[in-house]
Amino acid sequence: MDATMSAAAAAARAPAAAEVTVDGDPVKMRGDKVKVFYGQKQALFDVDLDVRERMVTALIGPSGCGKSTFLRCLNRMNDTIDICRVEGRLTLDGMDIYDPSIDVVELRARVGMVFQKPNPFPKSIYENVAYGPRIHGLARNKAELDDIVASSLQKAGLFEEVKDRLDAPGTGLSGGQQQRLCIARAIAVSPEVILMDEPCSALDPIATAKVEELIDELRANYTIVIVTHSMQQAARVSQRTAFFHLGNLVEEGPTQDIFTNPRDKRTQDYITGRFG
C-alpha cells in the first residue's frame, strides 16, 4: 500500500514525458519483455530492466547468462550479427530504439560503448579521440576539436599521462591506458549512456583500480551500464545490480541489497561462490 502511494506520488512529481521507476528514480533506458534469439537458440527470456539515469548499473552472472547480449541490445551492436533477432521493447528516454525510423548511428552516438579488450584504432592518441567528433561533425574548427580531445582525455584521467605525446600511436600505450583511451574516445562524442563490457578483464589490478575510480567519477554526468565477472567490482562501482542466469533476469535491486540480502536462492548461490 505504502509503495503504491509513493510511486504514485513520484509519478506525479516527475515531468509528464519522463519515465520513472517505482521508487522514483528517473529511467534512462528501459527493457520491456526483451527476447533475443541467435538463430534458433533463445539467449534472453522476457527481460524487464530499468537503467536509472546517472547511476552505475552492474550486470552480473555466470558466463553465457545473457548479460553481454542484453548490454549489446542497448546500442544495437547485435545488428552486426546476421542471425541475431531481438523482440520486445527497448527504450531510450521513452523512445523505442528498435523502431524502424531510428537511425542506429544516432543511437550509438548517444549510447557509447567500451569493449572488453582495449581496441584503440591504429592511429595517434589524438586521432583516436578525435575520431567520433569528426564523424559526427561536433567541432567547427581545429581549436574546438583540440578542446574536445583535451577535455575528453581529462575526463578519462589520461590527459596528464599523454599530453606531451598526443601524436604517438594509441596502440603504444599500456593496457590500462589503452582502455582509458577507449573511454575517452567514447566520452568525446558526448554520449548520454556508456555501456562497458567487462572493461577491466584484460587489465592488471592497478589499472583496474584506476578505471573503477574513473567509472565512479563519470557517474556524475553519464548513465553507465557495466557487465562484469568480478562481484567485488560490481559491489565497488555500482549503485544497482542485476543478476542474470540462463538468459533470465533473476533479480535487480540496489547493489547493497543484492549482495547482503538477495531475495532469490540462485543469486545467493552465485554471490556466495557456490557456482559460476
Partner 1 sequence: MFWTSLLILAVVLVAAFVFGRIRAGQVVHGDVAALHSLPSFHGAYLAIVTVLPAFLLLVVWTIAAPKVIDSMVIAKSADAVSGLGKPELQAFIRDARAIAFGGIVGFTDAAKEQAASLYRAYDELSTQALWASMAILAIAGFAFGAKRISPRMRARHVVERTVMAVLIVCSVVAILTTIGIVLSLIFESLRFFEKVNFFSFVFGLEWSPQTAIRADQVGSEGTFGAIPLLAGTMLITLIAILVAAPVGLFAAIYLSDYASGPVRAVAKPVLEILAGIPTVVYGFFAALTVAPAFRGFGESLGLSVSSESALAAGVVMGIMIIPFVSSLSDDVINAVPQSLRDGSAGLGATRSETIRKVVLPAALPGIVSALILAISRAIGETMIVVMAAGLAANLTVNPLEAVTTVTVQIVTLLVGDQEFDSAKTLAAFALGLLLFCVTLLLNIFALRVVQKYREQYD
Binding site for partner 1 (CB under 8 A): 75, 77, 80, 82, 105-109, 112-115, 117, 119-123, 131-132, 135-136, 169, 171, 182, 185-186, 189
User: Please, which residue, 178 or 241, has the CB nearer to partner 1?
Assistant: 178
The span from the CA of 199 to the CA of 208, in Å, is 9
DSSP β-bridge partners for residue 212: none
Q: Which of 212, 216, 218 is nearest to 186 (CA)?
A: 218
Write down the least CB distance from residue 274 to partner 1, Å. 33
Burial of 70 (0-12, 13-18, 19+ CB in 10 A): buried
User: Please, which residue, 119 or 268, has the CB nearer to partner 1?
Assistant: 119
SS3 134: helix
User: Please, which residue, 91 or 128, has the CB nearer to partner 1?
Assistant: 128
Write down the least CB distance from residue 1 to partner 1, Å. 45
User: Please, which residue, 131 or 159, has the CB nearer to partner 1?
Assistant: 131
What DSSP designation does 102 have?
S
The span from the CA of 229 to the CA of 208, in Å, is 13
Sequence-distant (≥ 6) Cβ neighbours of residue 62 within 8 angstroms: 245, 270, 275, 276
User: Please, which residue, 22 or 168, has the CB nearer to partner 1?
Assistant: 168
Write down the least CB distance from residue 46 to partner 1, Å. 26
| Residue 60 identity | I
